[in-house]
Chain A
Amino acid sequence: MKVAIFPSCIVDTVFPEAGAAAIRLLERLGLDIDFPLEQTCCGQMHLNTGYETRAKKLAARHLTNFTPYDWVVGISTSCTTAVREFYPQLLGPTRAAVGGTGKFIELSEFLLDVLGVTELQGTFAKKVTFHTSCHSLRGIHLGDRPQRLLGMLSGIQLVPLPKSDSCCGFGGTFSIKNSAISTVMMEEKLANVYWTGAEVLTAADSSCLMNLSGGIQAAKKPLTVMHYAEILEIATRQTQGKLSNFSGAK
């Protein structure tokens, strides 16, 4: 099984720790993970901002870069949504399918549905709240997969986030073009986050987290923000012996 990681531009450039965590976690489960260095951007930003022609070129290029792989594991739900849900419209359904959009998969789907992970030996003794990003919920329909993975850790206290399914206000260039609305949405989201009393805010999408952590830092609140892949990686770092019921599929 040849597996590549598709971390997204934001992770690659600004939050590399999330990408590194995902790679190490998958390696601990006995897989070889490639980071194809030709990968650049999936074209989501151009597509969402109305530059379809440019997006089309980036999309075609993106698919070519992952040709040799069986699975392309994403850790950014909006980018995986762009490939899986929007490429068929952008490139045409046939070209998208032949190009391999079907092998793009999100980390939690990969762990639970492909590897069949049902247990994880690890500890994370913190109070954590999970923001359900729009694209995880309504784009690629992750459901509660990331939370199920987090729930396998011992010591973790997962506190439900009120109105978790409402948008954080990022929306890519929306946050710049309509910054006043974006700010109000972000502040209301954060008010709910603070209300939970969680020490850690997590999500399956670093772009939402960039938005929310920007707000948290500006408000000078003592809250740690990290991708859920980082939590899984930290929790399993010291595990001796068997990490999971899945132990490699080389």
Chain B
Amino acid sequence: MSTDSGRPEGPNEGIPRANTWLLRTEHRDQQRSPVSFKSRSTREIRNLQMRKNISHATSTIREKRKKVVSEVENWEELRTRAAQIKQHTLSNLDFYLEEYERNVTEAGGQVHWARDATEARQIALELVRESGAQSVIKVKSMVTEEIGLNDFLVENGIEPTETDLAELICQLAGDESSHILVPAIHRNRVEIRDIFEATFAKKGTLEAEPSKIAEAARQHLREKFLESKVAITGGNFLVAETGSVAIVESEGNGRMCLTLPNNVISIVGIEKLIPTMEDLEVFLTLLPRSSTGERMNPYTTIWTGRPPAQLELGKETPFNEKSYHIILLDNGRTRVLSDEIGKQALSCIRCSACLNVCPVYERVGGHSYESVYPGPIGAILTPQLVGDPLAGELAFASTLCGACYEVCPVKINIPEILIHLRSIHSDHKRDTVLGNIERGSFGVVGIVMGNTNLFNIATASVSRILKYGGPVLNRVGKYLPPINGWIESRTLPAAPKETLRDAYRKGTLDALLKK
């Protein structure tokens, strides 16, 4: 693996200008309900079964990840390299996108540009219609969820079938996915058996055993693979120098989708580009270990343009023409790129390691975020992609414990971006009464904290409040916002004899010491 950066420098160094095909964005999450993360999570956290399912699954993956990551001696070096590759590509995105388009076209594929969800969906629908298909099979893809593709296809008379087991479970149950990698993480095997029996399997025929459940799904999906004319995929990586798309999956369904139907349509976000095949090596080392805790990914399919048509033995004319289309999606990404701190989020390779270590995600599950991308990465990506003040509250769904940053294979400083987004969100607080009260209070506290005399008075007052008011507040505080959240499960600290600064000034430090 080379560590030099012998890459072509992009013709336009820096950030691509936003005058070509950005200006509008549309995102499934723009239809977020006015219900806040706080109320959704307060409801979800009472679902003890869900918490048990998620806690079991994430702690298993966490342990596996830790073990296989510790085997790689130069793990930190690889992380740094991956971050560098992504930053380099994002800084020269215009150059690499054009290189990619050229190479796909040369290989017989067709590139389409979609500036937002509406355009991407429309292009996909037209391509499906051109092929004459009534149904499509799908490889698991976050971006098709982001643009709400499945619902749109159904509305237009096309039946999509998810072929990834967990996505299939969600599709059959009518659930939103709750994890990037393991969308049905909120379900256990008994619930999954019941979902299958309520849909395609006969009642009472399935055991709640993983192998039996998987076998039933295989049987169900095999027919779909063989009869489908069109497959729709996402893409984990786009390699600019060859015009390839790389798809990383564990079940073989992705490879079937790419090889069996004659028409393949990939929909991929523009941030998934990397310059070279050599760079892919770095990511294929980092991704499986970070996401599933596996040393190597089971099925990695790399696809370049249109595959050759197949000839029947002894004949000149091909019997099945193939086609390959790729829709490159912006949908807010170039806007994110213009934020110096926030743009790190575009380096994400969707491994979901941050979800698996997040103490908040573990307790509230993916649905609380009401976001295609849940967990820490969702909390920094969704507010930026959606650009909506309502989504900004997700940046507060974190204790800033930093566990996410520590495991991120591309070194996205998630806490840093969370703090940055909080600051942007606090500007929106002028729009609400409660927001203004908070702003005002922090303003006053800020003034007090910035002045030694006021600070002396304030700290002494806190001691006095705790001394005389503490016992009362501990009883009635549960009715007093904002301290009610604290008092419901905790007492206020006991009043100290005096503040440290007073004791230091008076020379009475020893009186403070515990016996």
| A residues neighboring B (CB under 8 Å) | 7, 9, 11-17, 19-21, 23-24, 35, 37-38, 40-41, 43, 45-52, 54, 57-58, 61, 86, 89, 134-135, 137-139, 165-167, 169-172, 174-187, 210-211, 213-215, 217-218, 226, 230, 233-234, 237
Q: Is there contact, CB below 8 Å, between A171 and B514?
A: no
> Beta-carbon contacts of B435-456 to A below 8 Å, as 1s and 0s?
0000100110110011110010
A selection of 19 A-B contacts at a CB cut-off of 8 Å is A12-B499, A13-B459, A13-B500, A14-B466, A14-B493, A16-B512, A20-B513, A35-B500, A35-B504, A46-B446, A50-B423, A52-B423, A54-B446, A86-B416, A134-B403, A172-B399, A181-B364, A182-B399, A187-B489
Q: Is there contact, CB below 8 Å, between B422 and A35?
A: no
Q: Is there contact, CB below 8 Å, between B363 and A181?
A: yes
| Known A12-B499, A43-B449, A134-B400; 6 more pairs at CB < 8 Å | A7-B500, A16-B498, A89-B416, A167-B399, A172-B399, A185-B363
Residues of A within 8 Å of B491, CB to CB, are: 214, 217-218
Of residues 361 through 399 on chain B, the ones whose CB sits less than 8 Å from some CB of chain A are 363-364, 395-399
Of residues 390 through 441 on chain B, the ones whose CB sits less than 8 Å from some CB of chain A are 395-403, 405-406, 416, 419, 422-426, 439
Residues of B within 8 Å of A165, CB to CB, are: 403
Which of B38-46, B77-85, B212-220 is near enough to bind chain A? B38-46
Question: B488 in the interface, Cβ–Cβ < 8 Å?
Answer: yes
Question: B482 in the interface, Cβ–Cβ < 8 Å?
Answer: yes
Roughly how many angstroms separate A129 CA and B459 CA in the complex, as a whole number? 30
Measured CB to CB, the closest approach of chain A to B365, in angstroms, equals: 11
Q: Per a CB cutoff under 8 Å, which of B42, B442, B483, B512 touches A49?
A: B442
Would A134 and B399 be within 8 Å (CB), given that A186-B490, A211-B490 are in contact? Answer: yes
Q: Is there contact, CB below 8 Å, between B41 and A178?
A: yes
Q: Is there contact, CB below 8 Å, between B400 and A214?
A: no
Q: Is there contact, CB below 8 Å, between B405 and A37?
A: no
Q: Is there contact, CB below 8 Å, between A15 and B493?
A: yes
Q: Per a CB cutoff under 8 Å, which of B41, B416, B423, B510 touches A51?
A: B423
Would A48 and B514 be within 8 Å (CB), given that A11-B500, A178-B41 are in contact? Answer: no
Q: Nearest B residue to A189 by beta-carbon distance?
A: B359
Residues of B within 8 Å of A11, CB to CB, are: 500
Question: B503 in the interface, Cβ–Cβ < 8 Å?
Answer: yes
Measured CB to CB, the closest approach of chain A to B420, in angstroms, equals: 8
Question: B190 in the interface, Cβ–Cβ < 8 Å?
Answer: no
Top 7 nearest A-B pairs (CB, nearest first) are A179-B485, A171-B399, A214-B490, A50-B422, A50-B426, A16-B500, A138-B402
Residues of B within 8 Å of A182, CB to CB, are: 399, 485
Would A20 and B509 be within 8 Å (CB), given that A12-B459, A180-B41 are in contact? Answer: yes
Residues of A within 8 Å of B402, CB to CB, are: 134-135, 137-139
Q: Is there contact, CB below 8 Å, between A58 and B446?
A: yes
Measured CB to CB, the closest approach of chain A to B236, in angstroms, equals: 28
Question: B202 in the interface, Cβ–Cβ < 8 Å?
Answer: no
Q: Is there contact, CB below 8 Å, between A214 and B486?
A: yes
Q: Is there contact, CB below 8 Å, between B512 and A17?
A: yes
Residues of B within 8 Å of A16, CB to CB, are: 496-500, 503, 512
Q: Would you call the interface of chain A mostly helix, strand, loop, or mixed?
A: helix
Q: Is there contact, CB below 8 Å, between A54 and B500?
A: no
Q: Per a CB cutoff under 8 Å, which of A35, A40, A174, A233 touches B450?
A: A40
Q: Per a CB cutoff under 8 Å, which of B363, B399, B419 touches A47?
A: B419
Of residues 459 through 500 on chain B, the ones whose CB sits less than 8 Å from some CB of chain A are 459, 462-463, 466, 482-486, 488-493, 496-500
Q: Nearest B residue to A233 by beta-carbon distance?
A: B513
Roughly how many angstroms separate A138 CA and B27 CA in the complex, as a whole number? 34
Q: Is there contact, CB below 8 Å, between A176 and B483?
A: yes
Q: Is there contact, CB below 8 Å, between B416 and A23?
A: no
Q: Is there contact, CB below 8 Å, between B501 and A37?
A: yes
Measured CB to CB, the closest approach of chain A to B277, in angstroms, equals: 34
Residues of B within 8 Å of A23, CB to CB, are: 504, 509
Question: B7 in the interface, Cβ–Cβ < 8 Å?
Answer: no
Q: Nearest B residue to A168 by beta-carbon distance?
A: B399
Q: Per a CB cutoff under 8 Å, which of B364, B401, B483, B496 touches A171?
A: B401
Centre residue among B405, B416, B449, B463 by max chain A CB count within 10 A: B449
Q: Is there contact, CB below 8 Å, between B492 and A214?
A: yes
Would A186 and B489 be within 8 Å (CB), given that A166-B359, A181-B45 are in contact? Answer: yes
Question: B505 in the interface, Cβ–Cβ < 8 Å?
Answer: yes
Q: Is there contact, CB below 8 Å, between B450 and A178?
A: no
Question: B68 in the interface, Cβ–Cβ < 8 Å?
Answer: no
Measured CB to CB, the closest approach of chain A to B389, in angstroms, equals: 12
Roughly how many angstroms separate A139 CA and B403 CA in the complex, as a whole number? 10
Roughly how many angstroms separate A186 CA and B488 CA in the complex, as a whole number? 12
Q: Is there contact, CB below 8 Å, between A218 and B490?
A: yes
Q: Per a CB cutoff under 8 Å, which of B359, B419, B423, B445 touches A169?
A: B359
Roughly how many angstroms separate A58 CA and B442 CA in the complex, as a whole number? 12
Residues of B within 8 Å of A183, CB to CB, are: 485, 488-490
Q: Per a CB cutoff under 8 Å, which of A13, A139, A217, A218 touches B499?
A: A13
Question: B360 in the interface, Cβ–Cβ < 8 Å?
Answer: yes
Roughly how many angstroms separate A49 CA and B425 CA in the complex, as a whole number? 10
Q: Is there contact, CB below 8 Å, between B42 and A51?
A: no
Q: Is there contact, CB below 8 Å, between B449 and A58?
A: yes
Q: Is there contact, CB below 8 Å, between B501 and A35?
A: yes
Q: Nearest B residue to A219 by beta-carbon distance?
A: B489
Would A40 and B452 be within 8 Å (CB), given that A16-B499, A52-B423, A134-B401 are in contact? Answer: yes
Q: Nearest A residue to B395 by beta-carbon distance?
A: A50
Measured CB to CB, the closest approach of chain A to B497, in angstroms, equals: 8
Q: Is there contact, CB below 8 Å, between B496 and A14?
A: yes
Q: Per a CB cutoff under 8 Å, which of A51, A166, A175 touches B446?
A: A51
Q: Is there contact, CB below 8 Å, between B486 and A179?
A: yes
Measured CB to CB, the closest approach of chain B to A227, in angstroms, equals: 10
Q: Is there contact, CB below 8 Å, between A234 and B462?
A: no
Measured CB to CB, the closest approach of chain A to B259, in angstroms, equals: 44
Roughly how many angstroms separate A233 CA and B37 CA in the complex, as a whole number? 44
Q: Is there contact, CB below 8 Å, between B496 and A15?
A: yes
Would A176 and B512 be within 8 Å (CB), given that A40-B452, A46-B446 are in contact? Answer: no
Roughly how many angstroms separate A134 CA and B486 CA in the complex, as a whole number? 20
Measured CB to CB, the closest approach of chain A to B451, in angstroms, equals: 7
Q: Nearest A residue to B448 by beta-carbon distance?
A: A40
Measured CB to CB, the closest approach of chain A to B486, in angstroms, equals: 6
Q: Is there contact, CB below 8 Å, between B396 and A179?
A: no
Roughly how many angstroms separate A232 CA and B61 CA in the complex, as a whole number? 38
